[in-house]
Amino acid sequence: MIEISDFASAQIKEMLDAQQNESLFLRVGVVDGGCSGLSYDLKFDDEQHEDDLVFEKQGFRLRVDAKSMEFLEGLEIDYKAQGMTGGFTMDNPNVKASCGCGASFRTATYRGTAKKC
C-alpha cells in the first residue's frame, strides 16, 4: 500500500483541480535510470493500463503499474514546503541505496543497471 499524507493529498488535489480535467489521476511508478538504478515517476495521466492497480485516496484517484508496486510497497509520500518552494518527498522502506543527489535509488530486489552520475 502507498500512503499519502494529508498535506501531500491536499497539494495533489489542488494541482489536479487546476488542470480542469475530470479524467486525470495521479500515476506513481518507477523507471530505470539514475545513478542507483531506479527513479520515481509521478505524473498526472488520463490513460489507464491493463496492469494498473487502482486506489482511491483523499479526493483523487491513484494508479500504480503492477511492475512498480514491488518497489513501492510501503512508500510514504509527503509534501514539504521550504521557503518559497516545496516539493514531494518519498520515504520508501524498500530503498537499500540511493545516489548522492537523491534522485535515484536501488532496492534489494532490483536487478537493472545503474548509470554513472
> Is pLDDT at 112 greater than 80 in this prediction?
no
pLDDT, tens digit (0-9, with 9 covering 90-100), for 74-92: 999 999 988 888 899 999 9
Retrieve residue 80's grid coordinates: 514539504
Global pTM reads 0.86
CATH architecture, range 3-107: Sandwich (2.60)
User: What are the structural domain ranges in the chain?
Assistant: 3-107
**Contact by Cβ (8 Å): 114, 48:** no
Strands 61-65 vs 76-82: parallel, antiparallel or unpaired: unpaired
Strand ranges for the chain from DSSP E: 3-4, 25-32, 38-45, 52-56, 61-65, 76-82, 85-91, 95-98, 105-107
